[in-house]
Chain A
């Protein structure tokens, strides 16, 4: 007998996986974007089933609410029609990179998903440097509580957070330089 929670899990899992597949296979870019939103919201619902309300809300806020709006914005602005999806992959570089990305995904799913190191909190494979910072302060028991997230980000995962922030900053500066350069070239020419 299936419990209500199982039922909900299957519902939202179907929603997220189905949304993802529909995104890949839908012809029209706007439909693809909408399916991606469905998929993201489905994942958020799965987070809720895991009692991780904060993550669920962030998922909707950041991905469904902000990132996808930008996606849709660009799709609409460039007026990408259904023909854009019909392009065949002819470039061998694209093919190779696609293959490696897919292989990486499979690797992560199969090997890391089974690895106990990754699942167990205590034997995390992060460098010892981060481990130390976690033990230095008075520790907070891990929970799905918001403050627990904050505590984790500011102590144990301080370095990854900073690195991620730096990478985003670098990407942002890169975008600014790239867009400025275009303007300069136009002015020169």
Chain B
């Protein structure tokens, strides 16, 4: 029954581990630099300059490039990471030790697991065949992402509970309520996309991320076809990644630090990295689902040649779109104030959910009209 396991299992497992480490490295680097981007963009939007002092030894003496890198704060993430590593580990006496230590890990692991199914480009082989670049291009990829990322809430809920602190606890409770509420709208907003992509006779299922991305090649991007779905998905994405204006679990003005009030040093760093990894992956998924993934522009076929150059350009184009979305996340954060908790719930249950349902019904009718015009009348 296990014919999908290859013969030389240790070699292939080793290869996968290598690829996985590379992927983790890439996403973690992007997460680190999103922190820098957050600091820089917020500074620019507020008329400041942001981090511009950190520099590696000697680099400063390289003419032009050295000072430029320093001015852009390129080495800041390194300093930030080291700071988290070398800070004193403090464990408050009143916490539940086991879950207190477990919570950051539970928060980080789903964030890193979702990237296994994240396609990021297409490989054009010399013999003309095309494969998707991903650790595992699952048929039910998008569901896998939902399933695993929904486990991330345990990290926050457990952190809040085990800290044995009322602020942390409120943060944890708020976050689990928010996650449950917006997961519904998020899932419902994607159903029309699956319907739209699963045209009769399609080779791939509508639940495959690479399938959805490839569906948009040379035709309209899905956010043009389904603007409401894209909007609801984007809003729910903000809520699921706990970004402003939905950062209820943190909301430092009313909850001190939210669920990580009692966390410090590296354990806090893990929460921090997990949060930004979520943003990176969320941006990548929105790009794949609604912005055409690695394909060039709507209604245009990819201008790059079908060889290794095309592969690299495609991956680069995908990264560019993802980075733009990360910028958009930051941009929104420094534009909108935080919602009140009841407003968050109100928006989720009475606005987004009915809207997503109506959107689904309308698209069911439209798809039926296109596929079987006679069945409606």
What are 30 residue pairs bridging A and B, where the CB atoms are less than 8 Å apart in the complex?
A30-B99, A30-B161, A37-B154, A57-B140, A57-B144, A58-B147, A60-B148, A60-B150, A61-B143, A61-B146, A61-B150, A64-B147, A64-B150, A65-B150, A66-B150, A69-B157, A72-B154, A72-B176, A73-B157, A73-B177, A73-B180, A76-B157, A76-B160, A76-B173, A77-B173, A145-B139, A145-B205, A146-B205, A146-B207, A147-B205
Residue of B nearest to A33 (CB): B154
Residue pair A66, B140 in contact (C-beta under 8 Å): no
- A53 on the interface (CB 8 Å rule)? yes
B4 contact from A51, A64, A146, Cβ within 8 A: A51
B161 contacts which chain A residues (CB < 8 A)? 30, 76
Tell me the B residues contacting A by CB distance below 8 Å: 1-2, 4-5, 9, 99, 138-140, 143-144, 146-148, 150-151, 153-154, 157-158, 160-161, 169, 172-173, 176-177, 179-180, 183, 198, 205, 207
Task: Say whether chain B's binding surface is mostly helix, strand, loop, or mixed.
Answer: helix
Which B-chain residue is minimally distant from A68 (CB atoms)?
B154
Across-interface contacts of A4 in B (CB, < 8 A): 2, 5, 9
Q: Which of A46-81 contact B (CB under 8 A)?
A: 49-51, 53-54, 57-58, 60-61, 64-66, 69-70, 72-73, 76-77
Shortest Cβ distance from residue A82 to the other chain B in the assembled complex, whole angstroms: 12
Min Cβ gap A34→B in Å is 8
A5 within 8 A of partner (CB)? yes
Question: Using a Cβ cutoff of 8 Å, how many contacts connect chains A and B?
Answer: 82
Q: Once bound together, how far apart are the Cα atoms of A49 and B143, in whole Å?
A: 18
List chain A residues, Cβ under 8 A from B172.
76
Q: Which residue of B lies closest to A5 (CB)?
A: B2
Which residue of chain A is the closest to B148 with respect to CB atoms?
A60
Q: How far is the CB of A177 from chain B (nearest CB, A)?
A: 19
Complexed CA–CA distance, A43 and B154 (Å): 19
Q: How far is the CA of A26 from the CA of B2 in the complex (A)?
A: 36
Q: Are B138 and A53 in contact (CB under 8 A)?
A: yes
Query: What distance in Å separates the Cβ of B199 from its nearest Cβ neighbour in chain A?
Result: 12
